[in-house]
Amino acid sequence: MGIVTEIQRFSLNDGPGIRTTVFLKGCDMRCAWCHNPETCEPSRQMMIYPERCIGCNACVRLDETKARSGLPPPRESLQLDDADGCFSGALRVVGQEMAASAVMEEIIQDCAYYEASGGGVTISGGEAMTQPAFVKELLTLCREHGVQGAVETNLAYTFDRLAELAGLLDLVMADVKIFDPASHRRWTGVGNERILENVKSLRTLNIPVILRTPVIPGVNDNNDEIIAISRYIADNVPNLMYYELLNFNPLGDSKYRALGLDNPFAQMRPLSAEDIERLADAARSCGIPVRVG
Amino acid sequence: MRDRVNQLPPDAPMDYRARMAILRERKLEDTQDKLRELGPVNSDDHGTIAPPPAFDEAFRNAIYSNHPNGSWYGYDGYSENFYRLMDLYPAFIDPCDAFPCREMAYLGSFRPQRGFLPEAPYDHLKPTQEQYDIVHGIGAQQHFGIDYTIGLTLGWGGLLEKIDAYQRRNPGHDDFYDAEVKTIRGVQQWMKHTLEAIDAALTRETHPVLIGNLKQMRECTEHLLDGVPRTLREACNWICWFKMASRTYNGDGAGGQLDELLRPYYEADLASGRVTRDEAVFYISCLLLSDPHYYQVGGLTADGRDMITYFSYMVLEAADWLDSSCNITVRVHEGMDRAFLKKSVEYLFKNKNGWPRFSGDDALTEGFMRLGYPKELAVKRVAVGCHWMSLPGLEYTLNDCVKTNNTRIFEVALNEMRHDGQPPSVERLWDIFTQHTQRCVEATAEGIRFHLKNQWRNSPELALNLLSHGPIEKGLDMSGGGAEYYNMCIDGTGIATVADSFAALEQRVEREGRLSWAQVYAALDSDFGGPNGEYIRRMLAESNRYGGGGTAADHWAERISLHFTECVTAQSDGELKFVPGWFSWSNTIPMGKAVGATPNGRKAHAPISHGANPHPGFRRDGALTAMSNAICAIQPGYGNTAPIQLELDPGMARGDEAVLKIVDYIRAIMKQGATLLNINIIDAGKILEADKNPALYPDLVVRVTGFTAYFCMLTKEFRQLVVERILKAS
């Protein structure tokens, strides 16, 4: 069994062709700018949207001590099961335990689109490789059904975990978030030494690789960072399909609030189109194909 | 009607692109005039302009009545009034345009009594029609395809000769033939007045290019009075004349296979050096400006040849020049040129005007053959209506005119189960629902049979008969025996509302036991009022939905469609065939008003679901693939459509790769049996702003259902439907 945050079909931004992206729950990094905070914790979580509450009290019906009028009870008094009777969208449990075969049932509904477009499945996160056995099982099923498989990963683990999947993967998408090790540790909670070593090892998989950098204002939105990453890629990843710069995504704020978390990047805005293109040009100057996502 | 003559300085740039830009701006002005003078309308743009104030009264004073109730009916009434209207029709001249005139009025809107011929009552059908809220189509006009090659080959003069020849052969049909002659004479009368208007414009216009254009316009009009079109300009102009006349006569909007219709004229012009490429694109663009008739490009020939040529690209380019409301359908088939499909998608995202649409050649052809027709015929069916195909000039169909309100059928069934004293269950409800569906379809078919028997003496098809194979030859109206084939359309509606209702009951009452039948009934009766009403409504609405992908509601939808299809096709009898589809057109609002609250959480009298689409919010990720699969699975499969309507964000197709993904999505759905795809490309923020103040967005075009319209021309209620769809999709 795996714990799945969401299955998103008709995904156009997670690899070649039309894809289904399976977002697994749990991540071993804590990127300060993360726009999917609901995927970080490996366990199921309650998301609360008070503005959607219709005051039906269905969530407190069995326990009058929780009763309040017109708003969901405080987070600390809620159990995950309390969301079961909520149909307003005020309470939502994120994360679902699923068998790989159940995920596959959803995936195969779009085989016609994968076939027409050269697409397939991308297993993402959180960090996909925090659930390696489930990923392997799912990729094996994909292979059996003739569906191309990819993982989107942060490479912050021993490389043999990924190498074990080599025969099941058609593509790897990986992040190189920050080149400076201290800065990487500061912003993500994890150093990048192993990640950079693993980037070098990607060539051994003999499959196409897409490398990506989320461009975060005040963190890595400068030529020095982007050029350092680009040079490293140019020197070490001969099987690179392309390098992609992903503009900062500000849409996670409501999810932070729903999880009862502070969003340190709440006030941050994405780079202008001109600025991100300028960085893309800097990356291109290192001789690698570059896209802006 | 604005004065467009001599409005530009003689040295103003006037190449073909510049002229089209001027014409486009003028069209926006005309649209604002229409909105001011005629108010909003929930239909196609039609390319009309507001007539001069005096016209309305002048024609009302000239109306000829042939019935004691003061109205007119039949061959005599329609031909005489059409002639009189044409005789009074204003001749509008824009020196920038390649072609003169615009449509300004609908003959039928002047009828003093608009009901069906009193001598042919159908009171015996009304109780059932009212019980099921059937859109019965009795008295409906046009909505079938014509063959423009007949007109382009014969011209008005040749058509008159053809009528004369057949009138001699078919004694006893003089009323019919005389009416057809008068119809043509009416158009010619309008053309003669137009010649005078062009002469007047020539005395005032000072721009040298536009003077030259007016002279060509005059020469063209004079030749086409009787003559056969010889050049691309004349061919386009002849089509303009016919479609303005037929639209005025009874609202006809069917075009044809535009690329193949016009290509021979272009090639002949090109060979003799009569035309440049830009000039040709300009002529096509002016034709599209004149009226957004439904045209098709591409498709397959009977021997499997792809009809896409360089000229198909020119048609799309012409629509791009116009960059306005347009109804061009690209016909998609397995072996089609991917580059052409890519170009089509690029235009769709570039202009964001809802064109082109995409029809599924393979499923449509295969489906039509299931009715017993050979492939040679099936491939000739072209996309020339909101959601429909038609064999040009061969087929009478009442496409898009006849609809069953399946949500009302569901309501009738649910009420019956409540009161019959038997224990309720979803399966029992299904049994009762199927019985009522059958009864409703039988009553609908009975209405169509009545129409076929009587329509010719109520409102004959005097304009469209002229470009059809059969009416002139037999002396019979298309609606009354003149056509070669009678394939009568019956569309179901509200499939999502009904499927979601079945699934919600199954899930919440029977599987989960969260609600009792009594609680459901009480909630519906109170329109989800009372202390728990909204809670119950949300619970029902949050049940698994049609479009979710392999959900119980998806299976219900398949079951509903299969049964509906069986009911409709069972009505076929010999040469008279009935063809099922799923399409509501703009009836989502009135049909919804006829039905109380439903177990899918829909409030009483709210709109039913649109076409074959799921209700907005059908799935958290809104996956187009899940929705498309569901719609592909409910296709009735007899050559009529159950369209997919998409609302896409403009950012979705950034870059070549993204465009190709949309192309591949289209290819994949067509391979899975999709029959028609309509796409809106609209930014959610923009549509919200436009809804607040439509007048600030005069050029915002949306594909409402099968048709495109200026957003500002829609009523508030209709804008709301579009807004909701787009917001939920975003």
Maximal CA-CA distance, chain A = 66
For the segment B256-266, the average pLDDT, to the nearest whole number, is 97
Residue A68, pLDDT above cutoff 60: no
Q: Using one digit for the tens of pLDDT, what is the confidence trace for A161-209?
A: 999 999 999 999 999 999 999 999 999 999 999 999 999 999 999 999 9
Residue B698, pLDDT above cutoff 90: no
Other CB atoms within 10 A of residue B576 CB:
15
A·B CB contacts under 8 A: 76
Q: Which of A28-32, B1-5, B697-701 has the lowest mean pLDDT?
A: B697-701
Predicted confidence band at B695 (pLDDT cuts at 50, 70, 90)?
confident
Residues A31 and A50 grouped into a single domain: no
The pLDDT of residue B730 is 61
The pLDDT of residue A271 is 94
CB contact under 8 A, B621 and A9: yes
The pLDDT of residue B717 is 79
**Domain total in chain B:** 1
Q: Using one digit for the tens of pLDDT, what is the confidence trace for B536-589?
A: 999 999 999 999 999 999 999 999 999 999 999 999 999 999 999 999 988 999
For the segment B452-459, the average pLDDT, to the nearest whole number, is 98
Percent of the residues in chain A that have a pLDDT greater than 90, as a whole number: 85
CA atoms within 13 A on the CB side of B257: 24
Predicted confidence band at B303 (pLDDT cuts at 50, 70, 90)?
confident
CATH number of the domain that residue A36 is part of: 3.20.20.70
Burial class (CB in 10 A: 0-12, 13-18, 19+), A136: middle
Residues A109 and A186 grouped into a single domain: yes
How open is the CA angle B412-B415-B420, to the nearest 5 degrees? Answer: 120
The pLDDT of residue B430 is 98
One-letter amino acid at B535 equals Y
The pLDDT of residue A147 is 98
CB contact under 8 A, A9 and B626: yes
For the segment B400-427, the average pLDDT, to the nearest whole number, is 97
DSSP character for B12? S
Q: Which of A257-266, B2-11, B50-59, B706-715 has the lowest mean pLDDT?
A: B706-715
Residues A61 and A109 grouped into a single domain: no
Predicted confidence band at A8 (pLDDT cuts at 50, 70, 90)?
very high
CB contact under 8 A, B668 and A17: no
Residues A205 and A68 grouped into a single domain: no
**In the structure encoding, which two tokens stand for residue A82, read together?**
């309390």
Q: Phi first, then psi: give them for residue B630, nearest 5 degrees.
A: -65, -40
**Cα gap B602→B592, rounded to integer Å:** 10
Residue A17, pLDDT above cutoff 90: yes
CB contact under 8 A, B535 and A54: yes
Predicted confidence band at B496 (pLDDT cuts at 50, 70, 90)?
very high
Distances from the Cα of B361 to the Cα of B125, B309, B396, angstroms: 37, 17, 21
Distances from the Cα of B490 to the Cα of B129, B184, B209, B430, B590, angstroms: 14, 32, 51, 21, 18
Q: Using one digit for the tens of pLDDT, what is the confidence trace for B328-352?
A: 999 999 989 899 999 999 999 999 8
Residues A167 and A211 grouped into a single domain: yes
Task: Give the DSSP H or E segment for B523.
Answer: helix B517-525
Nearest CB among B621, B626, B667 relative to A109 is that of B626
Predicted confidence band at B690 (pLDDT cuts at 50, 70, 90)?
confident
For the segment B605-622, the average pLDDT, to the nearest whole number, is 91
Residues A195 and A263 grouped into a single domain: yes
A116 touches chain B (CB under 8 A): yes
Predicted confidence band at A62 (pLDDT cuts at 50, 70, 90)?
low
CB contact under 8 A, B623 and A116: no
The pLDDT of residue B706 is 67
**In the structure encoding, which two tokens stand for residue B433, read together?**
């629902």
Residues A111 and A246 grouped into a single domain: yes
**Domain total in chain A:** 2
Range of the domain at B637: 122-146+396-642
The pLDDT of residue A64 is 54
The answer as to whether B612 is a domain residue is yes
The pLDDT of residue A20 is 97
The pLDDT of residue A191 is 95
Residues A55 and A195 grouped into a single domain: no
Chain B residue numbers with beta carbons less than 8 Å from the beta carbon of A93 are none
Interface of A with B in 37-56 (CB under 8 A): 54, 56
Predicted confidence band at B47 (pLDDT cuts at 50, 70, 90)?
confident
**Cα gap B268→B266, rounded to integer Å:** 5
Distances from the Cα of B26 to the Cα of B22, B31, B46, angstroms: 6, 9, 15
- Supply the pTM of this predicted model: 0.94
Q: Write down the mean pLDDT value for chain B.
A: 94
The answer as to whether B541 is a domain residue is yes
**Cα gap A38→A257, rounded to integer Å:** 11
Contact B393, B145 (CB under 8 A): yes
Crossing angle, helix B258-271 and helix B148-169, to 10 degrees?
A: 100
For the segment B371-387, the average pLDDT, to the nearest whole number, is 94
Residue B652, pLDDT above cutoff 90: no
The pLDDT of residue B314 is 98
The answer as to whether B587 is a domain residue is yes
A155 touches chain B (CB under 8 A): no
Residues A67 and A210 grouped into a single domain: no
For the segment B460-487, the average pLDDT, to the nearest whole number, is 98
CB contact under 8 A, A7 and B621: yes
Residue A60, pLDDT above cutoff 60: yes
Residue B318, pLDDT above cutoff 90: yes
Residues A183 and A232 grouped into a single domain: yes
**Cα gap A203→A213, rounded to integer Å:** 19
Chain B residue numbers with beta carbons less than 8 Å from the beta carbon of A109 are 549-550, 625-626, 629
Nearest CB among A9, A16, A112 relative to B623 is that of A9
- Is this complex scored with an ipTM above 0.85? yes
Q: Give the 3-state secondary structure of residue A171.
A: strand
For the segment A89-116, the average pLDDT, to the nearest whole number, is 96
**Cα gap B704→B700, rounded to integer Å:** 12
The answer as to whether B684 is a domain residue is no
Range of the domain at A274: 2-43+95-292
Residues A121 and A181 grouped into a single domain: yes
Residue B369, pLDDT above cutoff 60: yes
Scan for tokens 């990047």, then name that residue: A265
Residues A86 and A172 grouped into a single domain: no
For the segment B600-607, the average pLDDT, to the nearest whole number, is 97
